[in-house]
């Protein structure tokens, strides 16, 4: 049995992403998905070995970074074992018999509210942030709130017996969230190591690191130059504030290649001499991004 922690209630997008990832990689091993209220709870339960894997959202193609996930990556001992991109299709969900023109308030996770900003403005709805998309539907199913709806997945509406008032309300049909799969560095049942070897041999790997540079001219340029000189493709860079050092930042970097590749290993050895701090978050199989069309 593989136990996987995700943030949210049943019907959350993180749960859907977990099914998408593990159902294509794990054969003949039962999977149990464990809901947790917060991203912090997902990390902590995995670090305490209450579950085998964690799945957390890390970035969205419309709203950008999920900052809480980035911040926890700095302090965790977990390693990234994989990634998955989930197409996010939002629905406006309400009570049976409700109509869109009767809705004044809409609950959902802040990321989902941002991804549906155009729809919310069009219908002059008042957005109310909630801890989870599916959780907002569950809450409405348990309480009768006048003129109120939620934004979540079609699955959430089915699970909690609510009605779909509108489908596909996200601002872009290329609305994807990238999720990371994390586990202990030693690996667990279900074979993160197997995936690592496969990605290594096929050249389809990605590596993630965190680093900090001295607060001086050219410091970041010199680090990125090590990747450029070796033609290593960078796929993402994000900066996050260092909590106890105002106006200084940790940089989160994803790039193509495996840490066991000679070129990557040589690059990271050179980078170590140009940074104040570096942490390797892991090398893992690179996921495909099945884009469906142009942004609106």
Q: Determine which one of 119, 179, 211, 227 is catalytic.
A: 179
211 as an active site residue: the answer is no
Q: What residues contact 128, with CB distance under 8 A and at least 6 apart? A: 105, 106, 107
Nearest to 137 by CA among 158, 109, 157: 157
Nearest alpha carbon to residue 223 among 245, 252, 260: 252
Nearest to 265 by CA among 275, 280, 276: 280
Token reading at 187 = 């690996």
Structure tokens given for 231: 């033609």
Contact 187, 193 (CB under 8 A): yes
Helix, strand and coil percent figures for the chain, each rounded to 5: 30, 30, 35
Burial 185-221 (b: 16+ CB within 10 A, else e): eebbebbbeebbeebbeeeebbbbbbbbbeeeeeebe
Catalytic status, residue 179? yes
- Residues 132 and 173 sit within 8 Å (Cβ to Cβ): no
Identify the CA nearest to 287 among candidates 55, 11, 29. 55
Find the catalytic residue in 177, 211, 212, 251.
177
Q: Which is nearest to 108 in space by CA: 86, 125, 96? A: 125
Dihedral, CA atoms, 37, 288, 197, 21, nearest 10 degrees?
30
Active site positions, annotated: 177, 179
């Amino acid at each position: 049995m593989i136990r996987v922690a995700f943030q949210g209630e049943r019907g959350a997008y993180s749960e859907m992403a977990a099914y998408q990832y593990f159902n294509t990689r794990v054969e003949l091993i039962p999977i149990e998905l464990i809901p947790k209220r917060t991203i912090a709870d997902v990390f902590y339960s995995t670090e305490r070995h209450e579950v085998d894997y964690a799945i957390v959202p890390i970035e969205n193609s419309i709203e950008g970074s999920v900052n809480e996930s980035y911040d926890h990556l700095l302090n965790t001992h977990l390693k990234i074992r994989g990634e998955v991109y989930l197409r996010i299709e939002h629905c406006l969900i309400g009570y049976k018999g409700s109509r869109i023109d009767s809705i004044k308030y809409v609950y959902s996770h802040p990321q989902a509210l941002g991804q549906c900003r155009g729809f919310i403005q069009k219908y002059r709805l008042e957005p109310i942030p909630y801890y989870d998309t599916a959780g907002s539907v569950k809450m409405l199913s348990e309480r009768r709130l006048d003129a109120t709806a939620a934004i979540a997945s079609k699955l959430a509406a089915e699970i909690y017996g609510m009605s779909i008032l509108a489908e596909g309300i996200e601002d872009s049909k290329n609305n994807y969230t990238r999720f990371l799969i994390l586990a202990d560095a030693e690996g667990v049942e279900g074979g993160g190591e197997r995936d690592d070897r496969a990605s290594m041999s096929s050249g389809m790997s990605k590596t993630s690191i965190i680093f900090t540079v001295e607060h001086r001219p050219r410091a970041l340029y010199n680090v990125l130059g090590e990747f450029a000189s070796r033609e290593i493709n960078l796929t993402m860079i994000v900066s996050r504030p260092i909590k106890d050092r105002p106006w200084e930042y940790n940089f989160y970097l994803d790039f193509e290649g495996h840490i066991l590749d000679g070129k990557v290993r040589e690059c990271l050895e050179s980078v170590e001499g140009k940074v104040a701090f570096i942490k390797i978050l892991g090398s893992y199989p690179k996921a495909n991004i099945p884009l469906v069309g142009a942004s609106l």
